């Protein structure tokens, strides 16, 4: 198959599908290569789909995309061993179409997205792993696959090969990923009757709830837990920085963390009776702004997780993936139209478009966040406990007057963090979030 295409896209996740769809729709010849048995079979996500990024690519996606539930309620829980303090935000606004976000099951969603890519005219080949990029001097000219005679050529190769960014690393475009820049997340999908989910979460058909959790469940590590309601299943997971897993003195395994979380008295009743049908693990690039590598060069562009495009603070990833995929394809389309070649200079419009989009603006806004949380694990250990203690104290009626309770709570905060520590923590958070 020594053919030549305008564009080769490696990978069929959200970024690769967005890139392949956009390029094919514009009339470019596109080859997309996926190593899984079908698109989606290697892909893992929570998963929440943010409608906006997909709307810009396929405006009428709601007509036939496999969507589970639209989210009408977001819960944020801070947990200690026995309890949680939390906020819930529920609004009937989220029940007015077009809905803002949905839970999805990625194996199904990616398959659907891929069908759209094929309809748009791209050639999609599965069960094929790309081994390396083909170079002509410093210009990427194609890829080598693990098939006989598997060299294929293209003007531009779009690397949508996921968080491990294998191809760009092998080509020397960037170095090995740092353990402090990725989170390792594990999750399970638990099936139960639709009515059970709707009763437990106080929702109607098609309505969904998201719970984000942090605190004791991560065993002192920087990380979060989550619970998402699907149509007739619940996805439950927990992720922490890989560097924290490695250095954790308790040597806690990810699956142990997950089991503990499932057994937490606030979580267990929600998932009781669920039939576990799959256990997944995945890395999430959470290094943010400073961890984004060089994303374009002579004949290549990097999109999605492979480029570290995740906004960890807001738990956004697939929308950045789709947006970066679309922007990279648009750069390839423009370069093709201009007819001046496909060197880094001609593909620089990709980087420019990224900088002007919400993708780099949001990553820039939270650029210091990863560092702040890395160096201050009290946000994941001390504060959740203090908050839960405070709530327990104020809400338990036991004959002690409220003034005395307030004093004790404040003294606990001071003992744990000191006044300057408290002020410093507030300042650090304000700086990182502003």
Kindly state the smallest distance separating residue 37's Cβ from other proteins, in Å: 5
The answer to whether residue 250 forms part of the interface with other proteins (CB under 8 A) is yes
Q: Please report, as residue ranges, which positions from 215 to 234 form the binding site for other proteins (by CB under 8 A).
A: 219, 233
Q: Which residues of 334-362 are buried (b: 16+ CB within 10 A; e: fewer)?
A: ebbeeeeebebebbebbbebbeeebbbeb
For 89, counting Cβ atoms within 10 Å of its Cβ (0-12 exposed, 13-18 middle, 19+ buried), the class is exposed
Q: Tell which residue, 306, 55, 348, 319, has the closest CA to residue 174.
A: 306
Question: d(Cα 11, Cα 19) in Å, to the nearest integer?
Answer: 10
Residue with tokens 């083909």: 134
Segment interacting with other proteins (CB under 8 A) among 19-27, 120-128, 367-375, 404-412: 120-128
What are the CA-CA distances from residue 407 to residues 80, 127, 400 (Å)?
21, 64, 12
The answer to whether residue 69 forms part of the interface with other proteins (CB under 8 A) is no
Interface mask toward other proteins for 139-178; x: CB under 8 A: ------xxx---------------xx-x---------xxx
Segment interacting with other proteins (CB under 8 A) among 15-23, 40-48, 288-296, 393-401: 40-48
User: Can you give the length of the chain in residues?
Assistant: 434
The residue within the footprint of other proteins, chosen from 6, 73, 110, 385 (CB under 8 A), is 110
Kindly state the smallest distance separating residue 168's Cβ from other proteins, in Å: 14
Question: d(Cα 350, Cα 344) in Å, to the nearest integer?
Answer: 10
The residue (of 41 and 139) whose beta carbon lies closer to other proteins is 41
Question: In this structure, are residues 292 and 309 in contact, taking their beta carbons and an 8 Å threshold?
Answer: yes
Helices (H), 248-357: 254-263, 268-271, 318-338, 344-356
The answer to whether residue 283 forms part of the interface with other proteins (CB under 8 A) is yes
The answer to whether residue 8 forms part of the interface with other proteins (CB under 8 A) is no
The answer to whether residue 276 forms part of the interface with other proteins (CB under 8 A) is yes
- Which helix (DSSP H) or strand (DSSP E) does residue 29 occupy? none
The answer to whether residue 37 forms part of the interface with other proteins (CB under 8 A) is yes
Kindly state the smallest distance separating residue 373's Cβ from other proteins, in Å: 19
Segment interacting with other proteins (CB under 8 A) among 54-62, 247-255, 362-370, 401-409: 247-255
Interface mask toward other proteins for 395-414; x: CB under 8 A: --------------------
Question: d(Cα 55, Cα 101) in Å, to the nearest integer?
Answer: 11
The answer to whether residue 256 forms part of the interface with other proteins (CB under 8 A) is yes
Segment interacting with other proteins (CB under 8 A) among 113-121, 249-257, 343-351, 373-381: 249-257
396: left (phi over 0), alpha (psi -120 to 50) or beta: beta
Q: How many residues bind other proteins (CB under 8 A)?
A: 57
The answer to whether residue 254 forms part of the interface with other proteins (CB under 8 A) is yes
What are the CA-CA distances from residue 361 to residues 288, 318, 365, 410 (Å)?
11, 16, 6, 38
Segment interacting with other proteins (CB under 8 A) among 206-214, 257-265, 350-358, 388-396: 257-265
Question: In this structure, are residues 19 and 122 in contact, taking their beta carbons and an 8 Å threshold?
Answer: no
Segment interacting with other proteins (CB under 8 A) among 20-28, 44-52, 85-93, 328-336: 44-52
The residue within the footprint of other proteins, chosen from 123, 135, 179, 422 (CB under 8 A), is 179
> Cα–Cα–Cα angle for 327, 332, 338, nearest 5°?
125
Kindly state the smallest distance separating residue 185's Cβ from other proteins, in Å: 9
The answer to whether residue 115 forms part of the interface with other proteins (CB under 8 A) is no
First to last CA, the chain: 52
Residues that bind other proteins (CB under 8 A): 35-37, 40-45, 47, 105-108, 110, 126-129, 145-147, 163-164, 166, 176-179, 182, 184, 186, 188-189, 219, 233, 242, 245-246, 250-256, 259-260, 263, 276-283
């Amino acid at each position: 198959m020594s053919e030549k295409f305008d564009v080769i896209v490696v990978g069929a996740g959200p970024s690769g599908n967005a890139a392949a769809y956009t390029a094919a729709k514009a009339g470019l010849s596109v080859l997309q290569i996926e190593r899984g048995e079908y698109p989606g079979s290697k892909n893992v996500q929570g998963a929440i789909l943010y409608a906006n990024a997909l709307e810009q690519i396929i405006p009428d996606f709601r007509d036939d995309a496999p969507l589970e539930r639209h989210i009408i309620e977001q819960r944020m829980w801070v947990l200690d061993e026995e309890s949680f303090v939390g906020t819930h935000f529920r609004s009937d606004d989220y029940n007015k179409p077009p809905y803002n976000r949905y839970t999805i099951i990625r194996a199904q969603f990616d398959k659907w997205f891929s069908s759209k890519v094929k309809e748009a005219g791209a050639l999609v080949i599965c069960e094929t792993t790309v081994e390396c990029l083909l170079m002509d001097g410093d210009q990427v000219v194609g890829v080598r696959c693990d098939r006989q005679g598997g060299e294929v050529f293209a003007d531009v190769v779009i690397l949508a090969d996921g968080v491990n960014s294998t191809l760009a690393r092998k080509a020397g475009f960037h170095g090995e990923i740092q353990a402090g820049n990725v989170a390792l997340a594990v999750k399970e999908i638990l099936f139960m009757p639709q009515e059970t989910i709707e009763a437990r979460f106080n929702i109607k058909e098609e309505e969904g709830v998201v719970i984000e959790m942090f605190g004791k469940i991560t065993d002192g590590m920087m990380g979060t837990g989550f619970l998402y309601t699907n149509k007739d299943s619940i996805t439950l997971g927990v992720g922490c920085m890989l560097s924290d897993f490695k250095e954790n003195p308790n040597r806690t395994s990810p699956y142990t963390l997950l089991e503990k979380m499932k057994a937490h008295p606030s979580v267990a009743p929600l998932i009781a009776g669920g039939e576990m049908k799959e256990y997944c693990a995945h890395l999430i690039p959470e290094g943010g702004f400073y961890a984004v590598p060089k994303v374009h060069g002579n004949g290549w562009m990097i999109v999605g997780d492979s480029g570290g495009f995740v906004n960890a603070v807001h738990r956004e990833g697939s929308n950045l993936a789709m947006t970066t995929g679309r922007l990279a394809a648009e750069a390839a389309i423009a370069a093709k139209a201009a007819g001046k070649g496909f060197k880094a200079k001609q593909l620089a419009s990709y980087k420019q478009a990224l900088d002007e989009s919400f993708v780099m603006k949001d990553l820039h806004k939270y650029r210091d966040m990863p560092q702040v949380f890395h160096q201050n694990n009290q946000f994941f250990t001390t504060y959740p406990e203090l908050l839960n203690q405070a709530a327990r104290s104020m809400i338990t009626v036991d004959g002690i007057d409220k003034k005395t309770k307030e004093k004790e709570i404040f003294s606990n905060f001071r003992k744990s963090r000191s006044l300057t520590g408290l002020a410093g923590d507030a300042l650090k958070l304000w700086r990182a979030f502003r």
